[in-house]
Structure 1
């Protein structure tokens, strides 16, 4: 029989309506079940999906909502049956906090694609056991089932580790799935929060990395991040010269756009993976796919792959480029993020919430 401790009143920042902005609220974290871990959150990254969810841009937000699925912190308490973590451990939570753990996909370490109702989102989800809403990392603490709590390697600073839980794994997973390694020719379309991680990870895997951008203003940054080349997609002659060249195009562009030019860059059996856009795409001509080119999408990785990614980043010294902010500056960060005025990821220092 599962026992449960007393619930935890918790300070947080959340939205109460599409136009409310994100501000101080109090939520209640459930008491510890036998298999639960209580985490004091030290940092939480900001993702574009936080903004869209807070404003109900996708039409499926339940209010109040506490965003944040790039969470790192320290274990403060554990349930009686917990064996994976102990008090004081450096830990992390990504985009999911539960799944059925029994279906075919969960058995294959693909919990993110759970066949029994899908994964349970870290926020704006519903707890599988008691039906209560899940609240994210813009808060001082969180309670989570132990299997979904990951270990932060000693080599990763906590603030920089936070964006790896979404931006890191979202780009790492397709690179691993499509077996990127020495000799691979990888193009990264878009140089934002996702794209800059794609460049760093692909280069660390041994690939030849090219950044694709419509303008020249990203060329210097691409080189600093470890790209081997830069291709201006507005230059028709340069694009024609690279037709059929790449093994993989990692497309991180977050808005509706024409994917046709990127398909033309692929060799036979080359792959374009969409990880950024969440929208209808313009039509493409089927002739482009008759060259045995693959168009696919990818979400986050499963638990084992996410832990592998964290360990890989620690081993290779791969850190996201971040700007740390205080919790009260979240709404301004949203505005700057919409204007692409960040290089390349915002991270909230949660000590600012405890001080407020």
Structure 2
């Protein structure tokens, strides 16, 4: 597939994305979405998460347009729209790596509490979305005695975050296929006891239970995933290990440093190929400074963007449902509409995604986050 660096349609859609991000951040800044702990945090990572999840919406919005017009689910042909997905996911993996390598560095991890917190954070909303996937799938592929064994096998794959089709129905596109990143997240989580032993060169309490179990689960996941993506988690290590040195650089930064950060960001988003070594390393360089306080002139510390980051997991998991509903309404066929005209729908779709994400965060995510903190 030929890839273009620039196109009129990509610039229009990018402009509408920036406009929608600006308006939503202004409106969200007036809402009470963050609890005391989250509100007291002073990290650009919160705002970054909001931007990343929103960029993924743009990425899949364009892919859905391709499906509207061709019937095929393929990546964008314009580099910037493709990288709205690839670079965003890379940053998400780096954030996970940074947060949990920081825990490993500090030591004294309560492993049972760590894994329970991950279940409470990830699973409730995933199960909610999964119920929708099951209902849609069964609507198009009703259960029979013949396909019942295949259905249970399909259920098992989805409950393990692996996804898959049922009787050739592409269930993954109901949520824009975002479930694939969750299995990598879990693979990394189960590698943490191994990293703990390597980092501290000592065992920990009840290692004889946690370490073998984590190793077995990690190997199971490793066999079912593309190992090179784990490189992104590892690229977060310098931002943890050289934290003090990076912060010294930020304390002495000049306008040239700001120009370097903006230029590198543009080069990565506009000109690099998704998930290549060059893109991964470049993204990791940017991230090492963001994780340690660099905020692009306080942009990432914007109160509205931080609140957008608070609901970013809901945005990430639910936006595909909105796009799927729109595609179903438009009959998922080869419609005659130009991308420039279709892009005008984006602010409406983005608004719906944010509203639904606020609701799912408040009524599904937040109650379990509170339980995690109490536990």
TM-score, with length taken from structure 1: 0.27
Report which of the two has the higher share of helix: 2
TM-score, with length taken from structure 2: 0.26
Report which of the two has the higher share of strand: 1
